[in-house]
Amino acid sequence: MSEIPQLNTQPVFSIEKIYVKDLSLEIPNAPAVFLEREQPVVDIQLHHNSTAVEDGVYQTVLTATITAKAGDRTLFLVEAAQAGIFTVRNIPQPEIEPLLAVACPNILFPYVREVISDTTSRAGFPPVILSPVNFEAIYAQQRQQASGASDPVQIITPGVSH
């Protein structure tokens, strides 16, 4: 009796690699900024997008840009792009975009949060700790605004100032 090879049709979502794709720190007014007594205003911007690398393999990049200013002087600017390579197979096409726009950034967020905190601390400033982000709510809001447009996944989260 010969066996018929069964095609593997089980849904697959797996992490292949997580890495820091880009990291930048600027302290344009050092060393004077370390003597600054004014409470800084911190602006936080998050952005993520996903692109196909090959069939069933996607790269998602979550970028955090943090700018701290005291008055009109920039104390620091740090930008970290945390990336992940994900395998997505046997998942219906309509479900892939939400997976890339919600699950992948949720996986990457703790990593970018740690990079930002560590970088600001090593730069001589108090660590910036990013608050949790609800990527599902952001995705739902973006889709509602797009009214079903079939653009590639590119979600920009609203800025936050502290």
pLDDT (0 to 100) of residue 36: 85
DSSP string for residues in 27-92 = -TTTTGGGG--SPPEEEEEEEEEEEEEETTEEEEEEEEEEEEEETTEEEEEEEEEEEEEEEEES--
Helical (H) or strand (E) element with 25: strand 12-26
Task: Fold for 12-125, please state it.
Answer: Bacterial Protein-export protein SecB (3.10.420)
How many alpha carbons fall within 13 Å on the CB side of residue 115? 24
Find the mean pLDDT for residues 67-77: 95
pLDDT (0 to 100) of residue 148: 53
pLDDT exceeds 80 at position 162 = no
List Cα–Cα distances, 118 to 23, 41, 56, 79, in angstroms: 12, 19, 33, 12
Question: 151: which 2 tokens?
Answer: 């653009």
- Collapsing DSSP to helix, strand or coil, 13 comes out as strand
Per cent of the chain over pLDDT 90 is 75
Find the mean pLDDT for residues 93-122: 96
Q: pTM (2 decimals)?
A: 0.83
Q: Where are the domains of the chain?
A: 12-125
- Non-local (6+) Cβ contacts of 34 within 8 A are 124
Q: What is the mean pLDDT of the chain?
A: 88
pLDDT exceeds 70 at position 140 = yes
pLDDT exceeds 60 at position 117 = yes
pLDDT tier at 159 (50, 70, 90 boundaries)? very low
